[in-house]
Structure 1
Amino acid sequence: MTEKERELLNLLENKGRMPSESIAKMLDISLEEVNTMIDTLEKQKVILGYSGIIDWSKVNINETVTAMIDVKVTPKRGVGFDEVAERIYRFKEVKALYLMSGTYDLSVVIEGKSMSEIARFVSDKLSTLESVLSTTTHFQLKKYKHDGVVFEDREDDHRIVVSP
């Protein structure tokens, strides 16, 4: 991978909706080179997609509950954690899945319409999998920062300081 490709990936990761013309100027290369690099990196599955970061708390519809579930599993001989991870990430509720070090093996991020829906997912789908030994569910109460983006609008205090 070239240095320009790494620079391009950093730009796209931080500001995914940048016009190709802007990227070309920032990298000091031609528009054609930018488009060729992007096409190549997409075909190589280095660039997997583009997404926006939305503060859903500011939208009255689509209120969802997000949970992070710690999962302890028994790895299978020859495939390790991969087989159980694949079974878990195929559930439509699963937004992210990570193999972790520490006291649990997998970290599953899911979204649902309610805490009850998430509880049903854990009891009916996740904990019934053969390799799953235990789960611990943590509900997200508030999002402060995600993917480097701060969610809280903090207005500066414009009051005059009064001191004796």
Structure 2
Amino acid sequence: MKLTEKETEILEILDENSRADLNTIAKMAGVTTEEAEAIIQKLEDQKVIIDYSTMIDWRKVDGHEGVTAMIDVKVTPKRGVGFDEIAERIYRFQEVESVYLMSGVYDLSVVIRGRSMSDIARFVSEKLSTLDSVVSTTTHFILKRYKHDGKVFETGDDDKRIVVSP
């Protein structure tokens, strides 16, 4: 789909800050509030804008840390549908946050969240690996997030300079 310069500019503004209010977006894009609202509505209707999301550092919320895992999945694609059918079956599971078709040794990369490592293990052994097209999996547990979707989780603003005194 070919977008106008203003439509692209509004997408870039929303990509940087999806909480920006309509007046701010209009001013930044150099359009009226009504034009900005119409452009956003059009982009939502055409599914260019899929959703507005919040990024939360769950490590800072007691009792809600959870576990995130990235699972590399090797699959046998089906004739006529390729990887799409198995990817759809995987992304329909409630635990699954993301599914990506990848190049390299593995075909799909699946990101899931669970309350514990046992939840992740149960998902892999009971749900994911039992699917017909799944040949093998490799699970990687995320130990710490430093940066996600362009956002740094901890800035580490502490002054690390050595104090020098006479």
Q: TM-score range, shorter-chain basis?
A: over 0.9
Unaligned runs of 5+ residues in structure 2 are none
Deviation at 1:53, TM superposition (A): 1.2
Question: What does residue range 35-54 of structure 1 map to in structure 2 within 5 Å?
Answer: 35-54=37-56
What number of residue pairs does the alignment pair up? 164
Deviation at 1:133, TM superposition (A): 0.3
Letter in 2 for 1:152: E
Query: What is the aligned partner in structure 2 of residue 140 from structure 1?
Result: 142
Question: Of 77, 82, 85, which residue of structure 1 is paired with 2:84?
Answer: 82
- Residues of 1 paired with 2:152 and 2:119: CA distance? 28
Query: What is the aligned partner in structure 2 of residue 114 from structure 1?
Result: 116
Letter in 2 for 1:89: Y
Partner deviation per Cα, 1:59-109 (whole Å, 9 max, x = no partner): 113221000000000000000000000100000000000000001000000
- Residues of 2 paired with 1:158 and 1:82: CA distance? 49
**TM-score w.r.t. structure 1 length?**
0.96
Q: Which runs of 4+ in 1 moved over 3 A?
A: none
- Residues of 2 paired with 1:158 and 1:134: CA distance? 45
- Residues of 1 paired with 2:5 and 2:66: CA distance? 40
Query: What is the aligned partner in structure 1 of residue 16 from structure 2?
Result: 14
Letter in 1 for 2:110: V
- Residues of 2 paired with 1:58 and 1:146: CA distance? 16
Q: Residue 32 and residue 159 in structure 1: after superposition, are their counterparts in 2 closer, same or farther (change >3 A)?
A: same
Identity, % of aligned positions: 67
Deviation at 1:153, TM superposition (A): 3.4
Query: What is the aligned partner in structure 1 of residue 60 from structure 2?
Result: 58
Q: Residue 158 and residue 67 in structure 1: after superposition, are their counterparts in 2 closer, same or farther (change >3 A)?
A: closer
Letter in 1 for 2:16: N
Partner deviation per Cα, 1:22-79 (whole Å, 9 max, x = no partner): 0111111100000000111100011011011111111113221000000000000000
**TM-score w.r.t. structure 2 length?**
0.95
Letter in 2 for 1:127: S
Deviation at 1:161, TM superposition (A): 2.8
Question: What does residue range 149-160 of structure 1 map to in structure 2 within 5 Å?
Answer: 149-157=151-159
Deviation at 1:121, TM superposition (A): 0.3
